Amino acid sequence: MLITAPRVVPGTGELAILEPGYVLVTAGPVARVGRGAPPRRPDLALGSGYLVPGLIDLQVNGYFGVNLADVEPAGWALVARRLPETGTTGFLPTFVTAPVAEMSHALRCASVLVADPPAGARVLGVHMEGPFLAPTKAGAHRRKWMVTPTQATVANLLTAGVGALRVVTLATEAEGGLAAVAALASAGVVVSVGHSDATAQQVAAADAGARMVTHLFNAQRPLHHREPGVVGQALTDPRLTSGLIADLTHVAAAACAIAFAAAPGRICLVTDASAAAGMAPGRYRLGGKLVEVRPGDGQAPRLADGTLAGSVLRMDRAVANAVAAGVGLAEAVAAAARIPADLLGRPHLGRLNPGAAADLVWLDDDLRAQATWVAGERVYPAGAVSA
């Protein structure tokens, strides 16, 4: 399959845009990416927009009315099948804070589904956001279910999540927090600092193996000129990559621009989507709490007290919002594809170069997904592509 496009964004470290460009796929992986005239007549000639690598979302609580923490095979299949509509070709189902026994059960069920994943967007593992969080930075999580990370609890969750657990968000300042970071990291889990009131010095959990910060600016100690907090450490520590909810509600456009400028190559776009995403305004559930999306406020599911509770953001819209905030297109695409793939240790994803998986997205001139391929097979739209 040979596809040409007015602009191809490979998403690699060079951050180049090929105008025009082409991508050749042979027997699954990408065989060749080039600028200018293609080597033969294309199978598909896109007349507008951009051809980019498949987008990877590290934080998806739910979508299309489904709470992924319920770990229902039909629900996971629906989300995996429909996420390519948003340009997403890989994602981490995310489990928010619940009683430890429930989280262990959910991880065991998830291990089965990750081993035999549904068709559509790739299920890259599970992101466990909690229960080791700071009650003072609970956000939409239930404080009564938060616990300190004992050695036994961490071991229990690691055992339950064998083959599935990929990211754990925790507050490093909690008693036993640094020991938990070390134990999780040594087991191959990406540890992310989040829902944390840690000082900058306490966030130096990167010394113990932390590599990420969850939804930068949200539910964490903010930047202060005498105490940089979680935000300051995230933006200055080269070992930390930060997730960013670029719906322009959780984080203002100017703050998005600051993050990209302060930490180039260390920002990954996430949605933090809830079951309300892709649905009509109304009431939904997240972590056992009722959330509401009101008409005209489609980017901000909230609890009754106004607390933000996940989002209804699409990954293609996250890229567009970052660009509107002043981030270069190539940088925004890398933040939504290559950078999260690298964080998960999946260097064959999130980029268009020879040998990479043929996960592709055609974005129109407004950066909205028009067609999506996973492993060289078109998974969206169902009908013919009108180029």
Tell the burial category of 14 from Cβ atoms under 10 Å away from its Cβ (0-12, 13-18, 19+): exposed
d(CA 260, CA 325): 10
Active site residue 366: no
| Residue pair 364/355 in contact by the 8 Å Cβ criterion | no
Sign of CA dihedral 197, 198, 199, 203: negative
d(CA 287, CA 143): 11
List C-alpha distances in Å: 19 to 249, 326, 337. Answer: 33, 21, 20
Q: Which of 222, 242, 240, 241 is nearest to 232 (CA)?
A: 222
Instruction: Kindly name the residue from 57, 237, 272, 316 that is annotated as catalytic.
Output: 272
d(CA 98, CA 107): 12
Active site residues: 272
